[in-house]
Amino acid sequence: MDHDGVEVLTIGDYAGWYRERLARRHHLRAVKADGRLWTAEAVAKAEKV
The beta-carbon contacts of 32-39 under 8 Å, at least 24 apart in sequence, are: none
State CA 28 to chain mean position distance: 13
Residue 39 is predicted with a pLDDT of 96
Does 4 have pLDDT greater than 90? Answer: no
* Average pLDDT estimate for 40-49: 93
Residue 1 is predicted with a pLDDT of 64
Residues 22/5, Cβ–Cβ less than 8 Å: no
What digits encode the pLDDT tens for the residues 7-41?
Answer: 888 889 999 999 999 999 999 999 999 989 999 99
pTM above 0.85, yes or no: no
State CA 4 to chain mean position distance: 18
